[in-house]
Amino acid sequence: MSTGAFPVSKKVSMRRAATLVALGVVTFLAILKLSGFQASWEKFRTLDPRFIVAAFALYYSSFAVRTLRWKLLLGALDQKLSSVTLFSYLLVGWFISAVVPARAGDVARAYLLRSDRKISLRVGLGSIFVERGLDGFVILSCSLVFSFFILSFGLPRWILSLYQVTFSCFLLLLMFLYFVPKTEKRLRGVFASARYQRFIFFIFRLMDNVRLIARNRGRILLAFFLTLIIWFCDALVTYLVLMALDYPLPWPWVAFVSFTVNLVATIPITPGAVGQIDAVQFSLFSLIGLARAFRGVTILTSRLICYWSLLLVSGLVTYGTGLTRLVRMMSRKKGLLAPSIESVSRGENLVPEVSDCPRN
């Protein structure tokens, strides 16, 4: 793998790490305060390690499924990479998303494909765009389906608003993908600027790749099935933690909480959605009547499995593979895409690759 050097400000890196740790500590203390320190500690001591080990194994196995899904989508664009390579890129991307908000890790994955494997940025982003579309559709659909099982509790207005906003965004996205490609010639005529023309070219070729993947029905159906497995594994982690506490809630209730929390975290406000996920999860557990002493233990244990442990593992992979340059680039004012956008504006790689061209 290439190991190009980028300048890094240690002060910025330390500040970012300190912010993440501070968020984690504040969230930890707030959850324990709301759940009761003494009661939470007593519940922690009763956790059955067998279920916790099973939860760890289930969650980490979902990354093998994520790797297979990404490989499947890239294959639709005639890109063949080893599962080991894609798995390492996934972990690096997850690590960057965990320490930087707004899912910067997705952009990092596309950049890795471009810099290390000479795969067009349009191809990488196209495959990840479809990934995120599948994730959003599955999470929204499952949250809606399982919400019918908790109607007796009364859905808060903010959840209904969340459904409306998310559904509207999906509808707008589909309209954009369908109608905008037909306006390419018209948009090209708006400005004669070479930079503008290259930008339009980049955007439309990116959409070509998205549509190319979408037209491969066999791969899309399989990717959809894999997406279901990924997010049901995530929901089962919380269910197993409750089993470890010998406090099994009905599966539909747990699934509703998990899918709704993930729907809220689709756009993380904080790095790794630290605090964001915990607050929503606490609120939803209160809604379905989970005993107060069990809420904190369930949330903190689930987050230990799904965030803090993976932060350590993905961090070791990132630093062990010499890809720390991507983390360092987060400190630059221009951000991660700066090298790629600058190369586009200079006119590099403007000729569509075979994998970029739409097919009939």
Of 17, 18, 28, 174, the closest CA to residue 95 belongs to 17
Give yes or no for a contact between 257 and 282, defined as CB atoms under 8 angstroms apart.
no
Token pair, residue 237, equals 């982690």
Token pair, residue 12, equals 């910025």
* 146/135 Cα distance (integer angstroms): 16
DSSP 108-174: HHHHHHHHHH---HHHHHHHHHHHHHHHHHHHHHHHHHHHGGGGGG---HHHHHHHHHHHHHHHHHH
Using DSSP, how many helices (H) and how many strands (E) does the chain show?
A: 16, 0
pLDDT in tens, 6-62: 333 444 456 666 777 787 788 888 888 888 888 888 888 999 999 999 999 999 999
Of 97, 158, 24, the closest CA to residue 330 belongs to 97
Token pair, residue 184, equals 């390419």
Inter-CA distances, 72 with 82, 145, 199, 216, 289, Å:
11, 27, 28, 11, 41
**Buried-exposed string 68-90: b where 16+ CB fall within 10 A, e elsewhere:** bbbbbbbebbebebeeebbbbbb
Show pLDDT as tens, one digit a residue, over the chain (360 residues). 443 333 334 444 566 667 777 877 888 888 888 888 888 888 889 999 999 999 999 999 999 999 999 999 999 999 999 999 999 999 999 988 888 776 788 998 999 999 889 999 999 999 999 999 999 999 999 999 999 998 877 888 999 999 999 999 999 988 888 888 788 888 888 888 889 988 989 999 999 999 999 999 999 999 999 999 999 999 999 999 999 999 989 999 999 999 999 999 988 787 778 888 999 999 999 999 999 889 999 999 999 999 999 999 998 888 877 666 666 655 454 444 444 444 444 444 433 443 444 333
What's the gap between Cα 34 and its chain centre? 28
pLDDT in tens, 347-357: 444 334 434 44
At position 189, the amino acid (one-letter code) is G
Question: What number of other Cβ atoms are within 10 A of residue 167's Cβ?
Answer: 12
Tokens 């099982």 sit at which residue?
149
Question: What number of other Cβ atoms are within 10 A of residue 21's Cβ?
Answer: 11
- Could you tell me which residues come within 8 angstroms of residue 1 by beta carbon, excluding any fewer than 6 positions away? 116, 321, 322, 323
Give yes or no for a contact between 294 and 181, defined as CB atoms under 8 angstroms apart.
no
* 104/336 Cα distance (integer angstroms): 8
* 103/250 Cα distance (integer angstroms): 32
Of 359, 220, 356, 242, the closest CA to residue 302 belongs to 242
Whole-structure pTM value: 0.84
Cα-only R_g, the chain: 22
